[in-house]
Amino acid sequence: MLQPIKQENPEIIAAWQKIADHTSQKCGLPHCKLIAKLRPNRCCDKMYCQMAAEYAKDRYGIDLPKTDHPDLLFMGEKGCTVAPYLRPMCSLHQCGICSMGVLKGNPAWTSEYFRLREEIDILELARQPS
């Protein structure tokens, strides 16, 4: 079990933002017509909101403020209101990566994804106690 963190490292926050920006480029239309129809602001399911709420509370002691969205706890008019480092499952998610391990037909994008993910892994591991 991970120990709670009192203050986040700006370098880690920036790394999470980079991967969230990267994955958001390949979410919704034309990559996922179902999500574009059901969740136009790029969210797969409300279970990810619950995961983010639990992670933020357990890891950082943060109670995430909810929006008034009828289904998704943290969905605002312009997308998710939760910072990427507080919602790692969402920030890392891209359907092709999760299902096949690659974004089919886009090796450059896939390589960049795994480069960013490795950057996060190194930063996250470095702050763990030995």
The mean per-residue pLDDT over the stretch 4-13 comes to: 79
Residue 29: per-residue pLDDT: 56
* Predicted confidence (pLDDT) per residue in 65-100, tens digit: 999 988 889 988 888 899 999 999 999 988 888 888
Residue 71: per-residue pLDDT: 84
- The domain spans of the chain are 10-126
Tell whether the model's pLDDT for residue 16 goes beyond 80: yes
CA distance 111 to 17: 17
- Give the side-chain half-sphere CA count within 13 A for 75: 19
* Rounded (10°) angle between helices 107-126 and 10-24: 160
Residue 53: per-residue pLDDT: 97
Please give the mean pLDDT across all residues of the chain: 85
* Predicted confidence (pLDDT) per residue in 17-32, tens digit: 999 999 988 876 566 6
CA distances from 72 to 27, 69, 102, 103, 115 (A): 17, 6, 28, 26, 30
**Strand bridging mode 75-76 / 79-80:** antiparallel
CA distance 9 to 3: 15
- DSSP states of 61-77: ---PPP---SS-TTEET
* Single pTM value for the model: 0.85
Q: Which residues contact 82 (CB under 8 A, 6 or more apart)?
A: 52, 56, 64, 74, 90
